[in-house]
Amino acid sequence: MKALEITGGQELSGTIRVSGAKNACVAILPAAILSDEEVTVCNVPELTDTDALCEILNSLNVSVKRASESVIIDPSKMINVEITENYSKKLRASYYFMGALLGKYKKAVMYFPGGCSIGARPINLHLKGFEALGAKVTNDRNKYIVEADELKGANICLDFASVGATINIMLAATKAKGTTIIDNAAREPEIVNIATFLNNMGARISGAGTSTIKIQGVDSLHKCFHEIIPDRIEAGTYTIIGALCGKNLKIDNIIPEHLDSLISKLIEIGVDIEVGQDYLVVSKKDNYKATTVKTAVYPGFPTDLQQPLTVLLTQCSGKSKVIETIWENRFMHIVYLNNLGSDITIKNQTATIIGPTELKGVKVVATDLRAGAAMIAAGLIAEGTTTITNVEHILRGYEQIVEKLTSVGAKIRNKEI
Q: Which of residues 159-198 bind ligand EPZ (CB under 6 A)?
A: 160, 162-165, 186
Instruction: Using CB under 6 A, count the residues that bind ligand EPZ.
Output: 25
**Could you say whether residue 106 binds ligand EPZ (CB under 6 A)?**
no
Minimum distance, C-beta of residue 144 to ligand EPZ, in the bound complex (Å): 12
**Could you say whether residue 23 binds ligand EPZ (CB under 6 A)?**
yes
The Cα–Cα gap between 159 and 183 comes to 9
φ and ψ at residue 164, rounded to 5 degrees: -65, -45
The Cα–Cα gap between 45 and 231 comes to 9
**Could you say whether residue 94 binds ligand EPZ (CB under 6 A)?**
no
Q: Which stretch binds ligand EPZ (CB under 6 A): 124-132, 198-206, 340-348, 356-364?
A: 124-132
Minimum distance, C-beta of residue 87 to ligand EPZ, in the bound complex (Å): 16
The Cα–Cα gap between 30 and 12 comes to 37
Burial 284-309 (b: 16+ CB within 10 A, else e): beeebebbebebebbeebbbbbbbbb
**Could you say whether residue 304 binds ligand EPZ (CB under 6 A)?**
yes
245 is catalytic: no
Return the residue of 123, 151, 251, 293 that touches ligand EPZ, per CB under 6 A. Answer: 123
Q: Which stretch binds ligand EPZ (CB under 6 A): 115-123, 237-245, 286-294, 409-417?
A: 115-123
Q: Which is nearer to ligand EPZ, 162 or 291 (CB)?
A: 162
Helix (H) or strand (E) segment spanning residue 171 = helix 163-173
- With beta carbons less than 8 A apart as the criterion, state whether 115 and 121 touch: yes
Binding mask 373-402 for ligand EPZ (x = CB under 6 A): ------------------------x-----
φ and ψ at residue 364, rounded to 5 degrees: -135, 170
The Cα–Cα gap between 338 and 81 comes to 47
Q: Which is nearer to ligand EPZ, 153 or 397 (CB)?
A: 397
The Cα–Cα gap between 415 and 388 comes to 9
Q: Which is nearer to ligand EPZ, 74 or 234 (CB)?
A: 234
- Tell me the helices (H) and strands (E) count for the chain, helix number first: 14, 23
Q: Which stretch binds ligand EPZ (CB under 6 A): 61-69, 78-86, 157-165, 239-247?
A: 157-165
Q: Which is nearer to ligand EPZ, 188 or 227 (CB)?
A: 188
Query: Which residues neighbour 314 within 8 Å (Cβ) at sequence distance 6 or greater?
Result: 337, 342, 343, 344, 353, 355, 356, 357, 359, 378
Minimum distance, C-beta of residue 79 to ligand EPZ, in the bound complex (Å): 26
Q: Which is nearer to ligand EPZ, 125 or 312 (CB)?
A: 125
Amino acid at the residue 44: V
Amino acid at the residue 390: N
Q: Which is nearer to ligand EPZ, 186 or 382 (CB)?
A: 186
Q: Which is nearer to ligand EPZ, 303 or 342 (CB)?
A: 303
Binding mask 197-236 for ligand EPZ (x = CB under 6 A): ----------------------------------------
The Cα–Cα gap between 290 and 353 comes to 9
Return the residue of 104, 126, 258, 393 that touches ligand EPZ, per CB under 6 A. Answer: 126
**Could you say whether residue 405 binds ligand EPZ (CB under 6 A)?**
no
- With beta carbons less than 8 A apart as the criterion, state whether 286 and 314 touch: no
Cross-strand pairs, 289: 317
Three-class DSSP category at 155: strand
Distance of CA 215 to the CA centre of its chain: 24
The Cα–Cα gap between 392 and 119 comes to 19
Return the residue of 18, 52, 116, 378 that touches ligand EPZ, per CB under 6 A. Answer: 116
Give 317's DSSP letter.
B
Q: Which residue is nearest to ligand EPZ (CB)?
A: 164
Return the residue of 30, 60, 83, 92 that touches ligand EPZ, per CB under 6 A. Answer: 92
- With beta carbons less than 8 A apart as the criterion, state whether 78 and 61 touch: yes
Amino acid at the residue 57: L
Q: Which stretch binds ligand EPZ (CB under 6 A): 80-88, 123-131, 286-294, 374-382?
A: 123-131
Minimum distance, C-beta of residue 76 to ligand EPZ, in the bound complex (Å): 27
Helices (DSSP H) in 222-333: which residue ranges?
Answer: 232-245, 260-269, 306-313
**Could you say whether residue 129 binds ligand EPZ (CB under 6 A)?**
no
Helices (DSSP H) in 19-92: which residue ranges?
Answer: 22-31, 48-59, 85-88
Q: Which chain residues interact with ligand EPZ by CB under 6 A?
A: 23, 26, 92-93, 116, 119, 121-126, 160, 162-165, 186, 303-304, 326-327, 369-370, 397
Catalytic residues: 116
